[in-house]
């Protein structure tokens, strides 16, 4: 009985630790936001439909980071046209804005952060490719661009579209 309780205790302690380690690995893998973003087709008004390719040593980690990378790409990279799409410029086109507003973006992109409100992965659209010692995971993500822009305007990071030149 003691062995059973001891093994149960060990399992109980290890499971949350491994989940935390996976999240730390995910954060480490995407700390430099290493991804590719492209148009995935036309979306409904107020949203973008993008395909994000995320790199990681574990496929499950990369899949978890697709939404974060999609939002980062819409804000800071933009993406080219293709598949009948018009290319989109980044929402924030001020050089150095990511470091200037570092505190805001650190909390915005934190685990469980606000970025989650603005992106959702479309079911059944995930692709995984093994590239060397890591995985390249592609997810189709719907980004609520109008709501995201309003949040960035409210934070003072981008100017409103009706704020004149």
Spatial separation of the C-alpha atoms in residues 27 and 112, rounded to whole Å = 12
How many independent structural domains does the chain possess?
A: 1
Q: Are 105 and 98 in contact (CB under 8 A)?
A: yes
| Within-domain flag for 138 | yes
Answer yes or no: is 161 within a domain: no
Distance in angstroms (rounded) separating the CA atoms of residues 35 and 72: 10
Other beta carbons less than 10 A from residue 85's beta carbon: 18
| pLDDT score recorded for residue 21 | 53
Q: What is the signed CA dihedral for 142, 62, 73, 27, rounded to 10 degrees?
A: 120
Supply the pLDDT for residue 165: 53
Domain assignment of residue 97, yes or no: yes
Instruction: Please check whether residue 165 lies inside any domain of the structure.
Output: no
The answer to whether residue 50 sits within a structural domain is yes
Beta carbons of 32 and 54 less than 8 angstroms apart: no
pLDDT tens digits for range 80-130: 877 678 889 999 988 899 999 999 999 999 989 999 999 999 988 789 999
Please list the alpha-helical segments (H only) found in the chain.
2-30, 59-72, 97-100, 102-108, 145-154
Residue 37 lies in a domain: yes
- Out of 32-41, 76-85, 139-148, pick the least confident: 76-85
Q: With 50 as the cut, is the pLDDT of residue 7 above it?
A: no
Does the residue 164 lie in any domain? no
Range of the domain at 119: 2-154
Within-domain flag for 163? no
């Amino acid at each position: 009985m003691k062995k059973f309780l001891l093994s149960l205790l060990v399992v109980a302690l290890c499971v949350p630790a491994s989940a935390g380690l996976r999240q730390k690995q995910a954060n480490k893998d995407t700390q430099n936001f290493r991804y590719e973003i492209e148009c995935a087709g036309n979306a409904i008004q107020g949203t973008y439909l993008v395909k994000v390719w995320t790199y990681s040593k574990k496929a499950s980690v990369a899949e978890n980071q697709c939404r974060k990378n999609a939002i980062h790409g819409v804000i800071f990279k933009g993406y080219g046209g293709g598949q009948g799409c018009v290319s989109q410029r980044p929402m924030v086109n001020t050089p150095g804005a990511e470091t200037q507003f570092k505190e805001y973006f650190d909390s915005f992109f934190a685990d469980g952060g606000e970025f989650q409100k603005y992106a959702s992965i479309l079911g059944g659209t995930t692709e995984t490719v093994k590239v060397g010692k890591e995985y390249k995971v592609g997810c189709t993500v719907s980004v609520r661009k109008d709501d995201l822009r309003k949040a960035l305007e409210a934070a003072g990071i981008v100017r409103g579209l009706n704020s004149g030149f």
